[in-house]
Structure 1
Amino acid sequence: MPMHQARDRANKLRAEIEELRYRYHVLNDPDVSDEVYTSLTKELRELEETYPQLRDPNSPTQRVGGQPLERLGGRSSGPLPVCLVVGPGFV
């Protein structure tokens, strides 16, 4: 695939994946199956591996999560306590 086509496809995939993430995580209204989402993400990841110059730190393949929802309290006011539970096999 020529570079210009790969760039156009990667940009289209990024926009589509971002829209799907928003619908799934924010609106709680998934538009496609998990298999379709995974397929799109895999295609984008393969394009970015084949054409490293297309990698973008804002790409859905390069980051995890998104903005915290306000209804969940937004930012934390401090560090959260850590609770470590050790089972009998780890004593």
Structure 2
Amino acid sequence: MSKKPMSRKLKAIFKFFAAILVINVIVGVAGIAFMMLYYGEVDGQGQAALVTFMILNTIFASPVALYLYWWELHPVQTPESDQYNDHRQ
């Protein structure tokens, strides 16, 4: 049985959400590490601040992820890149 390859649009949507997830994981780990080093613990107020920061980060990271999504669907064409060029012409 051969697996059907994923379409470009589906891959791009996957990369869009993966980019947001990766950025939030990095922010979350860095925030927890900072709070542990600076305060010695992560209390309820720290957790609320971290969740709020991650939500705001998602809003502001979305343009970056959206750019990755757009770039995946509309690759840059150069004379050297023949990946998407039609050789039958």
TM-score by length of 1: 0.34
Structure having the larger proportion of residues in helix:
2
TM-score by length of 2: 0.34
Q: Specify the structure having the higher radius of gyration (Cα).
A: 2
Q: Taking CA–CA contacts closer than 8 Å with sequence separation of 6 or more, which of the two structures ends up with the larger relative contact order? A: 2
